[in-house]
Structures are given as structure tokens and as C-alpha cells.
Amino acid sequence: MIWVAWRQHRKQALIETGIMAVAALLLLLSGYQMIHVFKSSGLAKCLATAGADCGDLRDSFTNHYNGYQFMVPLFLLAPVLFGMFFGAPLIAREIENGTHRLAWTQGVTRKRWMSMHALMVVGFAIAGSAALAGLVTWWSHPLVSASGGGRFAPGIFDLRGIVPVAYTIFAVMLGLAIGALVKKTLPAIGLTLAGFAAVRVPITLFVRRYYLGAKTAMAPFGQFKGPHLIMGQPWVISQNTIDRLGNIVARGGGLNFDYLATRCPGITPPSPVPGRVAKPAVDAVQSCIDRLGLHLSTMYQPAHRFWTFQWIEFGIFIALALVLAWFVVARVRRLA
């Protein structure tokens, strides 16, 4: 039975292993080089020093590795590749070729056949995605440090820790379920990609922030240089400028000059055409801000919640995978 599962999937397994080996080699080579620059340029030391201004070092580093920065999101697709090339075809191809009628009429029950194949594929996917997640975490850490966003930021959070493994298990189960439903390999592969995105993207963008109640930090406007009020590298969900009563004056943490102009005489909005009207004097603006009691309000998830969030997201995707597994077993029982 194990031999059969291996014989059937070995081609894809070898191809996928080959792709991962090439990716790993590229990551190792570029990673060592990047870490060397990260250290030798003094950026690593600067970032480790509290309160140091690393702006120039940071800019030159990120400019130099701009191309790599764009590669980071590509790794978000790694889990779904397992779903597309191992999950989706597993049942769909059998039915497309009619070989399920051969496989399911041998001396092994369908349930056992299904479990053996699923275990082999899921096991392979777990090993592959865990190895890749470790490598990508190591490789991307200079980029993540230099960008200042931290490991909790959406898109970075998704590439490290335990969630890539959960995404992968979910993707494989989704592929199996869609394959068992549409019974055609190519449409199943396409729908697996679409379905994976349809679940992952909204969870990352809209659901994850609510796993635990977000915290809010307040600071008088203008004295707030960065999230230094907040320990570590939190996930900043939103920043708004608010007045004394808590009304939002400007979204995104900027200033609304139209608002200031109506309340503080002597302040005129800066003209879109440069040179026509003088910029409002900095002092006048600051005194207006102080008079109105403007504050910068930052909603964030504290850095120490990183692993809690990892486990919550892990649990969500494993639960989804279990529901899909149940569906696959029920569906396979009724296929002929």
C-alpha cells in the first residue's frame, strides 16, 4: 500500500523536491551574501542599539535588496503549490482515468486507500513546508529587520512559525476535496488556487486582527516619533489623529489642514501649487495642535502576542482542514 502510494506520487514528489532544492540553494546563496552585507554595513549593530537613527543605512540596504523584497510574497504561495500538485490531482486523476474502479476493487477498502494516500501526501507536504518556512525565516530576517515592520506584520507573520504548516495541510485537504467534487484534474488545480486565496486573504486582512482585542496607545500629536511607546515590534493595525473628544480628525496619523484652518486663525492649507502661498509656520501649527489637544491614537496587537496569534491561526486552519477531511471521506464513499 505504501509502495503503491509512493509509486503513484513519486514523479510529482521528485519534481516538487527538485523545485524546493533549487529554491533552497538560491535562498542559501543569496541569504549568506545578504547577511554578510547586513552585518558588515553596520546596519545589524545599529538596529540592535536602542534609540539609534539607522535611516541612511536602512535606506541603502533596502534599496540594494529591493528585488529580494519583492520575492518575499512569492513564498506565500508555497503552501498552495502542495494543494495544487498533490491534493487536487489525487482523487480527480483517478476518476478522470477511471483507475479508481481498479484501485477500489482490490483487497483494500476505500477508506484505507484514501488514508494511506492522504497521509503520504500530507506528510510530504508538512516536511517540505516546514523546511521551507525555516529557511525563509532565516533568509528574510535582514529584510524584515531593515524594513522595520517586524515579524507580526501581515505577509511576514504568514511566512514563519507554525502557520505555514497549517496552511499547507489545509491546502492539501482543499485540493483533495475539490478534486473529489469536480473530478477533473485541471479545473481542480485552478479551483484549489482560487479557494485557497479566497480563505487565506480575508483571514489575513480582516479576521486576524480580532483574534484578541487590540490595544490602543495614545500620544500627543507631534511628540510621537514611532511606536516607541509600544514594546518590541507590534502589529500596528491603524493610526488616527483624534481630538480631545476622541473624534477622528485624520486617518492614517497625518494632519488635516482644512480642519486646523477652520479652528485656528492664521493657518491656511498648503497650496497644491508650490510657491503660491507660504506654508503654515511650524510654530503656529504646533500651538494649534496643542490648543486643540490633538493626539495620535495607535491601535495595535502587542509583539508578545505573536505566538498566541500563531497558535490561533494554526488552530483555525487545522480545523478547516479537518472539516475538509471529513468531507473527502464522505464524498469518496459515494463515488463510483
Partner 1 sequence: MNALEASGLGKHYGKRWALENCSFELPAGSIAGLVGPNGAGKTTLLHIAVGLLEQTSGSIQILGEHPGDEKVLSRVGFVAQDTPLYKAFSVADMISFGEHMNPSFDVAFARERMSRLEIPFDQRAGSLSGGQRAQVGLALALAKRPEILLLDEPLASLDPLARREFLQTLMEGIVDTGVTVVLSSHLLTDLERVCDHMMVLARGRFRLIAETNDILKNHKLLIGPRERAGAISGVAQVLHQSATDRQATLLVRTNGPIIDPSWMVNQASLEDVVLAYLDSRSTADASEHDLHAVREVAR
- Contact residues: partner 1, CB under 8 A: 1-4, 7-8, 11, 97-99, 101-110, 334, 336
In the complex with partner 1, which residue's Cβ is closer, 107 or 274? 107
Gyration radius of the chain over CA positions? 26
**Residue 82 one-letter amino acid:** F
Closest separation in Å from C-beta 98 to partner 1: 4
In the complex with partner 1, which residue's Cβ is closer, 1 or 194? 1
In the complex with partner 1, which residue's Cβ is closer, 108 or 255? 108
How far apart, in whole angstroms, are the C-alpha atoms of residue 155 and residue 216? 22
Closest separation in Å from C-beta 191 to partner 1: 24
Helix axes 163-182 and 185-202, enclosed angle (nearest 10): 140
Continuous segment of H or E residues that includes residue 262:
helix 257-263
Closest separation in Å from C-beta 328 to partner 1: 17
Residue 2 to residues 101, 176, 219, 311: CA-CA distances in angstroms? Answer: 19, 18, 62, 32
> 275: helix, coil or strand?
coil
Closest separation in Å from C-beta 72 to partner 1: 36
Closest separation in Å from C-beta 105 to partner 1: 4
How far apart, in whole angstroms, are the C-alpha atoms of residue 86 and residue 88? 6
- φ/ψ of 45, rounded to 5, equals -65, -45
How far apart, in whole angstroms, are the C-alpha atoms of residue 297 and residue 221? 9
**Contact residues for 160 (Cβ-Cβ < 8 A; gap 6+):** 133, 136, 137, 151
Our separate counts of H helices and E strands in the chain read 13, 4
Q: What's the length of the chain?
A: 336
In the complex with partner 1, which residue's Cβ is closer, 299 or 335? 335
How far apart, in whole angstroms, are the C-alpha atoms of residue 41 and residue 147? 15
Closest separation in Å from C-beta 7 to partner 1: 6
**Contact residues for 100 (Cβ-Cβ < 8 A; gap 6+):** 91, 94, 335
How far apart, in whole angstroms, are the C-alpha atoms of residue 249 and residue 259? 7
In the complex with partner 1, which residue's Cβ is closer, 99 or 216? 99
Closest separation in Å from C-beta 109 to partner 1: 5
Nine cell digits for residue 145: 529587520
In the complex with partner 1, which residue's Cβ is closer, 94 or 158? 94
In the complex with partner 1, which residue's Cβ is closer, 99 or 286? 99
Closest separation in Å from C-beta 121 to partner 1: 16
> 238: helix, coil or strand?
strand
In the complex with partner 1, which residue's Cβ is closer, 110 or 183? 110
